[in-house]
Structure 1
Amino acid sequence: MTGIRDVAKKANVSIATVSRVLSKPDTVAEETMKKVLSVVEELNYQPNAAARQLRMAETNTILVVVPDIANTFFSKVLRGIECEARENGYEVLLGDAGNHIQSENSYLHILRQKKAAGMILLTAGIDVKLVEEIASEFPVVLACEYINGLHVPSVSIDNVSSARTATEHLISLGHTKIGCISGPMNSVLGRDRLQGFYQAMAQYNLQVDPIFVQEGDFSYESGFQMMTKLLAYNDIPTAVFVGNDEMAFGSINAIEAKGLCVPNDISVIGFDNIKFSSIFKPGLTTIAQPAFEIGVRAIELLVNLMKKESVEKKQHILKSRLILRNSCRAYQV
């Protein structure tokens, strides 16, 4: 039987390092973690079952993995999770993956060590096969995002429809030259929101200039950079749909840095309705996600799974809504 010494020897690290990778992945360098996890998978190493049971016995801890704790959207989701978890007698352990897929994957091994009773993933940027494998043994729920074909309960909004609504709002204001700063294309959210943008433009027979579509990474900095790039062209859009609020803030500041004005020169609409959207000047028109409710529903589903109760519906879609503020105005020649 493969032991921890075998893993350490093949990975050329200490036994303590292997132990930290499996129990506290955030304390290990990413390169080392990748090497150790690769050997763990290759050797099919499983920590001693008896030792696991002694460590765990019964745990009331739920692990929640966040792609990036710096993104304030997740604070409301986490608050919903925390409130509902307490009501059900569970404590929440937070794991921040820092937008590193390998880190996200490593947290799944915490379930294998039975240090948590269940897991909520607020990210879909993880290995599908690994999630399916873990979910076949342990309670797992995906929130905010989803993975096509994955048989794991998920809670989210319809991002395609919501992005279509945002774009249609700009069209209703008379804009025809509309740009888009999307999220990353390796993200379900990035792809879905871009798809909704294209659907709305096609529905109203509006052409999309390829240079009007730029790919960001959901950060403020990428919003500023991509909008600066759009403004460098001779022909610029009169309105822009931005894939999340943080990028929208960067976009607005980039517009104003060029001596232009939002919404008089360019209208901007965001996505998420984070708290700062109502404080920022101008107030940001955006799509509101029911973040708190997403967290509550995710815990309800997870508790059902942990109690061995059946969850018939796999994908749970909550409603979003358009919030009108001051960053958009009717197009004027």
Structure 2
Amino acid sequence: MVSIKDVAKKANVSTATVSRVISRPEAVKEETSMKVMKAIHELKYQPNVLARQLRKLETKTILVIVPDITNTFFSKVLRGIEYVAVSKGYKVLLGDAGNDVAREGEFLNVLRQKQADGIVLLTARMETSLIEEFALDYPLVLACEYIEGSTIPTVSIDNISGARKATEYLISLGHKKIGMITGPLNVVLGRDRLKGFSQAMARHDLPVEPSLVQEGNFTYDSGYNMMLKFLALSNPPTAVFAANDEMAFGAVKAVKDRRMRVPEDISVIGFDDIEFSSIFEPPLTTISQPTFEIGTTAMELLLKLINEDELTRNQYILEDKLIERQSCVSNNNPL
């Protein structure tokens, strides 16, 4: 079956341009419109008329799907989304997937049933083909998580670079035996942050020991349990990089429960810079994401899709930065 993507490829234009030619031809240059119509005719493309008609029924509501509402990282992203949404007369519905891929898919029916005008996905754990097909017919933006190689409008940071930066910082303090608590490796964030860690270690000819890489699931409990594994080793790491702040908090608690100290006995660095990081004891060194800006940029992109405006770019990679606090110190006894 011929899709709008096939037409766009043949006409050498974006899918958004094909959509405008079908729904608002007056908004497209005549030369471009003719090229698209020629591709439609040659491919015998049949537009999804029902989806197009439903899109024209405004609800002034957008849906935001989060993977886990208990993760405080998403609070500022949501504030950014709502800040722009409210200023443009939109309400925000929140859907908590509870880390359940099936529930993520169920939320898409909110758009199919025309209960919202567009959707911001803060999670991308469904089948890639399902998300991409859905994005062809409905306004959809990905934020925080992303799909490698996809053309879906996306807002995120460079997680590989951020993780590399965190690891390089520990190395600069003289640490050579460094452990990592990864996020779930079936999620792109978990894989990319592990990749950044491995790249930094390789750059300095430091081995990534299998026993010093443990898979967590972005929760406090997993950080606690994985750190206990590190501390049970005969030669534990002098520093640990946790792939998010929640796991870093759990890791610090595990160190304290073993009557050791952070950072004197072991340094800990996190990722995200959630609000509690600065008042935690000790205050957590971490990689800060521009969470509010991620939210505002995602909502502005979604509004362009809803209004069928031309997108000047699809991918937005925002800057992260290292926040130095008191959970890391120089290693006085480098191996």
Q: TM-score normalised to the size of structure 2?
A: 0.82
AA aligned opposite 2:154 = S
Q: Distance in 2 between matches of 1:150 and 1:116?
A: 24
Instruction: Give the CA deviation at 1:55.
Output: 12
Tell me which residue corresponds to 1:329: 329
AA aligned opposite 2:322 = L
Q: Distance in 2 between matches of 1:53 and 1:153?
A: 22
AA aligned opposite 2:118 = G
Q: Distance in 1 between matches of 2:207 and 2:310?
A: 47
Tell me which residue corresponds to 2:271: 271
User: Is the CA contact (8 Å cut-off) linking 1:221 and 1:247 kept in structure 2?
Assistant: yes
Partner of 2:251, secondary structure, is: helix
Q: Relative to structure 2, which stretch is displaced further, 156-165 or 141-150? A: 141-150
Q: Distance in 2 between matches of 1:232 and 1:56?
A: 60
Alignment of 1:70-219 (within 5 A): 70-219=70-219
Tell me which residue corresponds to 2:235: 235
Q: Distance in 1 between matches of 2:175 and 2:139?
A: 47
User: Is the CA contact (8 Å cut-off) linking 1:62 and 1:90 kept in structure 2?
Assistant: yes
Q: Distance in 1 between matches of 2:180 and 2:109?
A: 38
Tell me which residue corresponds to 2:29: none
| Structure 1 residues 70 and 258: alpha-carbon distance in aligned structure 2, compared to 1, 3 A threshold | same
User: 1:109-134 CA distances to partner (integer Å, 9 max, x unpaired)?
Assistant: 21111111000000111121111111
Q: Distance in 1 between matches of 2:54 and 2:84?
A: 28
Tell me which residue corresponds to 1:257: 257
User: Is the CA contact (8 Å cut-off) linking 2:55 and 2:117 kept in structure 1?
Assistant: no
| Structure 1 residues 278 and 54: alpha-carbon distance in aligned structure 2, compared to 1, 3 A threshold | closer
Instruction: Give the CA deviation at 1:57.
Output: 3.7
Instruction: Give the CA deviation at 1:282.
Output: 0.2
Q: Distance in 2 between matches of 1:189 and 1:120?
A: 17
Instruction: Give the CA deviation at 1:56.
Output: 8.9
Tell me which residue corresponds to 1:61: 61
% identical aligned pairs: 60
Instruction: Give the CA deviation at 1:149.
Output: 2.5
Q: Distance in 1 between matches of 2:54 and 2:285?
A: 53
User: 1:1-35 CA distances to partner (integer Å, 9 max, x unpaired)?
Assistant: xxxxxxxxxxxxxxxxxxxxxxxxxxxxxxxxxxx
- Unaligned runs of at least 5 residues, structure 1: 1-48
Q: Distance in 2 between matches of 1:53 and 1:155?
A: 28
AA aligned opposite 2:309 = E
Q: Distance in 2 between matches of 1:148 and 1:175?
A: 32
Is residue 294 of structure 2 the alignment partner of residue 294 of structure 1? yes
Count of residue pairs the alignment pairs up: 284
Q: Distance in 2 between matches of 1:212 and 1:256?
A: 19
Partner of 2:268, secondary structure, is: strand
Q: Distance in 2 between matches of 1:151 and 1:108?
A: 19
AA aligned opposite 1:136 = L
Query: Pairwise CA RMSD of aligned residues?
Result: 1.7
Q: Distance in 2 between matches of 1:152 and 1:188?
A: 15
| Structure 1 residues 160 and 137: alpha-carbon distance in aligned structure 2, compared to 1, 3 A threshold | same
Tell me which residue corresponds to 1:5: none
Q: Relative to structure 2, which stretch is displaced further, 201-210 or 217-226? A: 201-210
Q: TM-score normalised to the size of structure 1?
A: 0.83
Q: Distance in 2 between matches of 1:149 and 1:53?
A: 30
Instruction: Give the CA deviation at 1:246.
Output: 0.1
User: 1:172-224 CA distances to partner (integer Å, 9 max, x unpaired)?
Assistant: 00000000000000010000000000000001111111100000000000000
Q: Distance in 1 between matches of 2:277 and 2:314?
A: 32
User: Is the CA contact (8 Å cut-off) linking 2:69 and 2:96 kept in structure 1?
Assistant: yes
User: 1:74-123 CA distances to partner (integer Å, 9 max, x unpaired)?
Assistant: 00000000001011111100000000000011111211111110000001
Instruction: Give the CA deviation at 1:312.
Output: 3.4
| Structure 1 residues 172 and 60: alpha-carbon distance in aligned structure 2, compared to 1, 3 A threshold | same
Is residue 245 of structure 2 the alignment partner of residue 245 of structure 1? yes
Tell me which residue corresponds to 1:225: 225
Alignment of 1:2-21 (within 5 A): none
Q: Displaced runs of 4+ in structure 1, greater than 3 A?
A: 52-57
Partner of 1:136, secondary structure, is: helix
Partner of 2:277, secondary structure, is: helix
Tell me which residue corresponds to 2:317: 317
